[in-house]
Amino acid sequence: MNERNAPSRGLAGLFGRGRGRASGGNADDGSAMLKGRHIIEPGNLSLPELDGLFDLAESIVKDPARYSEVCRGKILATLFFEPSTRTRLSFEAAMLRLGGSTLGFAEPGASSTAKGESLADTIRTVSSYVDVIAMRNPKEGAAHLASQYSSVPVINAGDGGHHHPTQTLTDLLTIRSIKGRFDGLTVGLCGDLKFGRTVHSLAKAMSRYPNVRFVLISPPELEIPDYIIAKVFKPSGVQYTQVRRLEEAIGDLDILYMTRVQKERFFNEQDYVRLKDSYILDAEKMRLARPDLCVLHPLPRVNEIAPEVDADPRAAYFAQVRYGMFARMALIMKLLGIVEGGGKKG
């Protein structure tokens, strides 16, 4: 007998909750609640659920004091099997700002896995102590596996190069908060579109909204994978164009999502030297852009955005970091079933 999910079936009383809906596949029922659910990939959330999440996040942005105690008595575990200061601190700040507590580890050496414990056993143990788990693990599918053994919601904080759903929520909340909408936007994706996980997730997420157009700005070596075009853009009827130079496209964009072009992705150094400046955003290129352009970057940045751009009001990548925390606050509240004002959804 497969013992997965056994705790939630046999010990539901002890753990105080039944298992939430499975994480796999798309959740298309807009009336469904998020309480008790696992968030493994961006597609786990339907558009109405995303709307509800962003409404709550924007409400928190407007009046954070109103939410400062709503998670009192609740514990978030941050289980980071590989270092990621930014994401871990964002989750911990989110829970602390909701009045809850956090525990966990920041590297595998500090966990029982260093003694050879399986991930399944670690998750069974930790989920006995806490109310929600945020986990990063270098292995693809680790979060999905964790969700099968956890008696509390699991949030995927990154599983290798696979999924990082709260980065996508961060990107979407930033766009919605700054632009006020998703519909009809022209989104430029610039840099490494081949290996960039955040780019793929954002492309999939934005393709779910009407009349979104993409401008794909990359060298030939780093073009977006064919499967994104064949399985995401074409079935959704999304319009897209591919260009080689940022200068050609920046004037048409509502959103510019920058990523880093890494030298090691190129076959030879000459190509890298020839192409790299096309994918570095500086004040000169910003002069070609619209006054209401919104520049995003998943961070950390290395040299793909010149520091002189930071002072430009169109540079939104540090605001994006803050929106990431608010997105995680809203997500934690939703998964715990906490409604505004501190009550609980039954």
Partner 1 sequence: MNVQKIRNGLVIDHIRAGTGPRIFNWLKLDRAPFSVALIMNVPSGQLGKKDIIKIDNVIDIDYSVLGFIDPNITVNVVEDEHVSRKITLNLPERVENVIRCRNPRCITSAEPGIPHVFRLVDRKRAEYSCEYCDELYRAGIGEFL
Identify which of residues 145 and 275 has a Cβ nearer to partner 1 in the complex: 145
Q: How far is 104 from 82, CA to CA, in rounded Å? A: 12
Identified binder of partner 1 from the candidate list 8, 137, 170, 198, rule CB under 8 A:
137
Q: How far is the CB of 189 from partner 1 (least distance, A)?
A: 21
CA distance 274 to 290: 27
> CB-wise, 67 or 149, nearer to partner 1?
149
Helix axes 317-336, 85-97, angle to 10 degrees: 50
Gap between the Cα atoms of 16 and 341, Å rounded: 22
Closest CA to 20 of 32, 3, 4, 2: 32
Among residues 180 and 235, whose Cβ is nearest to partner 1? 235
**Smallest separation (angstroms) from partner 1 to the CB of 11:** 20
Q: Per residue, what are the HEC states of 166-206?
A: HHHHHHHHHHHHHHCCCCCCEEEEECCCCCCHHHHHHHHHH
Please choose, out of 128-136, 141-149, 191-199, 216-224, the segment that lies near partner 1 by the rule CB under 8 A.
141-149
Binding mask 108-127 for partner 1 (x = CB under 8 A): ----------xxx-------
| Token pair listed for 22 | 């499975």
> Is position 139 an interface residue for partner 1 (rule: CB under 8 A)?
yes
Closest to 245 measured CA to CA, from 272, 217, 281 = 217
Relative orientation angle of helices 165-179 and 317-336, to the nearest 10 degrees: 110
Comparing CB distances to partner 1, the nearer of 23 and 167 is 23
Taking the complex as a whole, the smallest distance from the CB of residue 75 to partner 1 amounts, in Å, to 25
Residues contacting partner 1: total by CB under 8 A: 18
168 counts as binding partner 1 under rule CB under 8 A? no
- Report long-range pairs for 61-65 (Cβ below 8 Å, ≥24 apart): 61/177, 61/323, 61/326, 64/97
160 binds partner 1 (CB under 8 A): yes
User: In angstroms, what is the minimal distance from the CB of 286 to partner 1?
Assistant: 37
Give the nearer residue to partner 1 in terms of CB position, either 135 or 294: 135
Tell me which residues touch partner 1 (CB under 8 A): 2, 4, 24, 118-120, 137-142, 144-145, 159-162
